[in-house]
Amino acid sequence: MRAWVIRKKGCPVQEALRLESDYPTPTASPGRVLIKVHAVAMNPVNWKLVETWGLNRMQKVPGVPESDVAGTVVDGDLQGTGLQVGDAVFGLVPAEHTAKTGQGCLAEYVTVDKHLLTKKPDNVSFEEAATFPLATFTAMNSLISTGGLRKGANQRVFINGGSGGVGVYAVQIARAYDAYVVTTCSSASRELVQSLGPDEILDYKERPLVEQLKAKFSGDNKFDIVFDAATGDADLYHQSPAYLKPKGMFVDVVGPQQHLKHGYVGLLRAFGDMLNRLVRPSFLGGTPRKYKLVMMKPTKPELEEMADLIRQEKLKPIVDEVFKFEEAVPKAYERQKSGRSKGKVVIKVQ
Ligand SMILES: NC(=O)c1ccc[n+]([C@@H]2O[C@H](COP(=O)([O-])OP(=O)(O)OC[C@H]3O[C@@H](n4cnc5c(N)ncnc54)[C@H](OP(=O)(O)O)[C@@H]3O)[C@@H](O)[C@H]2O)c1
């Protein structure tokens, strides 16, 4: 089959990948379903697994990258899934699996765990369906299972990064759960973010974000959940008592990643940064708010809830740009890595 194949690592992903026409087609096995891939959406984790010092030890070479997929069922273990050969589906191959086995989605065929695959809602295309899984699981894990977001509980939620792949779905989920939502973006993304229905938008380029939050949300309008889906900035957490309720939860999906660019020294800095956030008690100057660094874990019930929200149009696909399969390198990866994409970067495979 045709596949983009990682042939080296520790270099820019654009240099690591080669388009090959004779890569072995995977075969279905117990618990896994073979699908013909129509569309793939990109996520930062997949290129970071190739490029980032330390993290790239996990990446198998040769291997195929990418996790989010939409396609049609070809073969495999369909027992208990309600799926049939030929069904249009969407789902996730977790990045840990693509890294360990080398079997990711940026190819004509991929196998997916039968519990992480479901019918594609009819009201979205393959390109649109592929945008949801990883980013929406991340938003659901962060806001609902970790942050404690509940339907109709009138909670106040702050989401940093409302225009990114995770942010566009986090804002919609928080709205679907009736929360009061405040989010951030630059002026270039404002129109898009406004269309997702948040109650307030802060332009993080206008004034330092922490200053804006302290000025506007330090009275009896503090947040129940602060969700950082953009920067991992330690200060946003350490200053949070000013705008996060005492029993509120600070949820982060970025953490001290920026330090990892600096090899061993960066690793030590990242470790110190995390100790400071997670275990330093408040009597020793630690921040008196709960902090959780979330590593996305997909679940079948969340996948079904995701599909229902899509059918009800409470979760609308946000596509930044669709690229052809041959354009994955350099165009699609350049766009994803720019940190400026609005919603999701998609590759149409066939
Ligand atoms: N822990 C996990 O399980 C997990 C899962 C998924 C993602 N992540 C991490 O979460 C982060 C976000 O992922 P993503 O897929 O959403 O990334 P993305 O789509 O590449 O994010 C791009 C967006 O970020 C916005 N942005 C850039 N700098 C910003 C800032 N300072 N403040 C607010 N918004 C800013 C940009 O908006 P403007 O152009 O308007 O500035 C752009 O729309 C990444 O670091 C990723 O690795 C972690």
pLDDT of residue 266: 80
Ligand 1 touching residue 167 (CB < 6 A): yes
Our mutation pick for probing the ligand 1 site, out of 186, 201, 228, counting the most ligand atoms within 8 A of Cβ, is: 186
Ligand 1 touching residue 340 (CB < 6 A): yes
Ligand 1 touching residue 345 (CB < 6 A): no
Q: Ligand 1 center to residue 37 CA distance, Å? A: 26
Ligand 1 touching residue 298 (CB < 6 A): no
Ligand 1: residue whose CA is nearest its atom 24: 164
Beta-ladder partners of 266: none
pLDDT of residue 72: 98
Confidence band, pLDDT 50/70/90 cuts, at residue 276: confident
| Residue ranges per structural domain of the chain | 3-132+317-348, 135-293
Express each pLDDT in 238-268 by its tens digit: 999 999 999 999 999 998 888 777 777 888 8
pLDDT of residue 26: 97
Residue with tokens 């040769």: 62
Alpha carbons 247 and 4: distance in angstroms, whole number: 47
pLDDT of residue 123: 98
Q: Ligand 1 center to residue 295 CA distance, Å? A: 15
Q: Ligand 1 center to residue 44 CA distance, Å? A: 8
Q: Is the pLDDT of residue 64 over 90?
A: yes
Pick 166 or 55 by higher pLDDT. Answer: 166
Confidence band, pLDDT 50/70/90 cuts, at residue 332: very high
3-state SS class at 18 = strand
Q: Ligand 1 center to residue 53 CA distance, Å? A: 20
Residue 14 and residue 333 in contact, taking contact as beta carbons nearer than 8 Å: yes
Ligand 1 touching residue 186 (CB < 6 A): yes
Ligand 1 touching residue 296 (CB < 6 A): yes
| DSSP H or E stretch at residue 254 | none
What superfamily does domain 3-132+317-348 belong to in CATH?
A: Medium-chain alcohol dehydrogenases, catalytic domain (3.90.180.10)
N-terminal to C-terminal alpha carbon distance within the chain: 12
* CA 138 to chain CA centroid, nearest Å: 5
pLDDT of residue 90: 98
Ligand 1 touching residue 136 (CB < 6 A): no
Ligand 1 touching residue 229 (CB < 6 A): yes
Confidence band, pLDDT 50/70/90 cuts, at residue 272: confident
Q: Ligand 1 center to residue 108 CA distance, Å? A: 28
Alpha-carbon dihedral angle through residues 200, 203, 204, 210, given to the nearest 10 degrees: -40
Express each pLDDT in 170-186 by its tens digit: 999 999 999 999 999 99
Our mutation pick for probing the ligand 1 site, out of 66, 163, 299, counting the most ligand atoms within 8 A of Cβ, is: 163
pLDDT of residue 336: 97
Ligand 1 touching residue 43 (CB < 6 A): yes
Confidence band, pLDDT 50/70/90 cuts, at residue 137: very high
pTM over 0.85: yes
What number is the average pLDDT over the span 293-304?
97
Number of alpha carbons in the 13 Å side-chain half-sphere of residue 46: 33
Q: Ligand 1 center to residue 278 CA distance, Å? A: 22
Q: Ligand 1 center to residue 124 CA distance, Å? A: 24
Q: Which fold has domain 135-293?
A: Rossmann fold (3.40.50)
pLDDT of residue 34: 98
Ligand 1 touching residue 189 (CB < 6 A): yes
Confidence band, pLDDT 50/70/90 cuts, at residue 275: confident
Q: Is the pLDDT of residue 45 over 90?
A: yes
Ligand 1: residue whose CA is nearest its atom 39: 340
Taking phi first (over 0 means left), then psi (-120 to 50 degrees means alpha), and beta for anything else, what does residue 112 get? beta
